[in-house]
Amino acid sequence: MALRAAITSVVFVAFALHAWNLSYLADAQGCDPVRLVCPADEDLWFTNDAPEYQRIAKRIRERGFFSVSYMRRLPGYPGVLAAVEAISGSTETARWLGPLFAGLACGAVAWLSFVLTDRRGAAVCGGILFCAWPGAYSLSPLLLTDSLHGSAAIIAIVLSVYWVRSQWPPAAAAAAIFWMFSQLLRLTFFSIPLFLPVLLWKRNPSRSYAVGAVAIVIAACAVPSFIVASNWLRHGVAVPNGDFARALMCYDVPRLLSEQGRGSFLKLREDCHTHYADMDWKKKIPMQTSEGWRLHLEHPGDAFRSHVGEFLEQLAYPSRPHYRDEAASLYREFTTFSPPLLTGYWILACIGLLYASRSAPTVGLFIGSCVVLVAVPASFGHLMGSRIRYPIELLAIPLVVSAGFHLVEARHRIPSRLANAWRSYGRGQ
């Protein structure tokens, strides 16, 4: 009961803080406080992707969910915008989903913190750290795709762990739903069906457990299979979408070439986009993929160092409560987490992962697999800030809390162990 009360409390606190942040930004821009529609010249929430998402949402609303191509954008976020506009009359109102999912994600983080430590206080600490995390506040009002995806992914991960521990059928159903929703938003966890068996496998499982586990894996396969089949039928290319090939050739390769002193990244990226702009997908994707990997194979050492450096650069990027620089004046300087602080955060997360792998090997291995699924595509980008790493930020919170609790316990145990060793040595003498 105390655990449930603690988790419920942090859920409401997280929702309230994110809702207040949304209202604060709306008021600062003179926006409608409910529908969140802003004057055109004051909109700090506008992104370059917004018009395309609006266009796809309009097509979905007029012709249906299955009428659009998924090669450029996955259908999840445009579908959300279309549904919200049908209800409220404005796609901007969808931003209220940010606080809602933030609250649910906070509860998931708090519960996983408890699981890794078996301490109710850890659940509270995990919830507090989530509420204090600056990056969540920058994504929920602006880059809602990244916010919803990160929240849905951590919720799906935690529900999957909860199903393994409790074998409560609604948990399996909810995990399946959240896996599908996160995959409809981003490509990041398209490969999760390959790693779910690591978590879900049991020797001699009950029939109900086997059915639930298989249902989760099938659900995690459903969205990738549907989107790949749709792109193959529409464009003749069996891929989830064109993002990876584009990132490989127009972000990763220009970054590698610029690091080798063979041109400016921005110029090389622009030339790449111009070169492939008028090609159809069936020709473009194989060409980008083969050309990109060819350049990697020509310089394997430089390519490996470039990927590692890019991911480390993204990990060190400051976590701040605003995404656009124009909004920096609305927040105090102390609300930004600096690179040195983040370095300590990631070190503690690694320590926590080691503790988790020892106390709950399947959970630790599964969390590590999820981190890899985020890290690999992140290393193919450039100048992305902290957007792509967001699921890792949320996954790291329970690991950091676990590391903190275990290190504190170890600090108290070490003196007693030394004293016992000294007494044993004295008796031996």
Can you tell me the distance from the alpha carbon of 336 to that of 350, in angstroms, rounded to the nearest whole number?
22
pLDDT of residue 320: 83
CA 26/CA 322 separation, integer angstroms: 13
Over residues 388-412, mean pLDDT = 88
8 A C-beta contact, residue 244 and residue 217: no
Instruction: For residue range 166-200, list pLDDT tens digits in order.
Output: 999 999 999 999 999 999 998 889 999 999 999 99
pLDDT band at 419, cuts 50/70/90?
low
Torsion of CA 66, 68, 73, 76, to 10 degrees: -30
For tokens 């609006």, name the residue.
54
pLDDT computed for residue 85 by the predictor: 87
What pLDDT shows up at residue 100?
93
The 10s digit of each residue's pLDDT in 301-318 is 999 999 899 888 888 888
Weakest mean pLDDT among 40-49, 81-90, 216-225: 40-49
Mean pLDDT of 420-424: 55
Domain count, the chain: 1
Long-range contacts of residues 216-221, Cβ cutoff 8 Å, at least 24 apart: 216/160, 216/163, 216/172, 216/175, 216/176, 216/179, 217/193, 218/176, 219/175, 219/176, 219/177, 219/179, 219/180, 220/176, 220/179, 220/180, 220/183, 220/189, 220/192, 220/193, 220/196, 221/193
- Say what the pLDDT of residue 56 is: 87
Residue 336's SS3 state is: coil
pLDDT confidence of 44, banded at 50, 70, 90? low
Q: State mean pLDDT over 8-33.
A: 89
pTM of the model: 0.90
CA gap 404, 268 in Å, rounded: 45
H helix runs in 64-133, sequence order: 76-88, 97-117, 120-132
The answer for 118, left when phi > 0, alpha when psi is -120 to 50, beta otherwise, is: left
235-247: per-residue pLDDT in tens?
889 888 888 888 8
Q: What is the mean pLDDT of residues 90-99?
A: 87
Judged against a pLDDT cut of 90, whether residue 27 lies above it is answered with no
Residue 43 has pLDDT above 80, yes or no: no
Q: Give the residue numbers spanning the domain of 148.
A: 2-428
The number of residues making up the chain comes to: 429
**What is the rounded CA–CA span in Å between residue 192 and residue 178?**
12
CA-atom Rg of the chain in angstroms: 23
Q: Is the pLDDT of residue 211 over 60?
A: yes
Give pLDDT tens digits for 255-282: 999 998 988 988 999 999 899 988 889 9
What is the percent of the chain with per-residue pLDDT over 70, rounded to a whole number? 93
Please give the share of the chain, as a percent, with pLDDT higher than 90: 42
Mean pLDDT of 419-426: 54
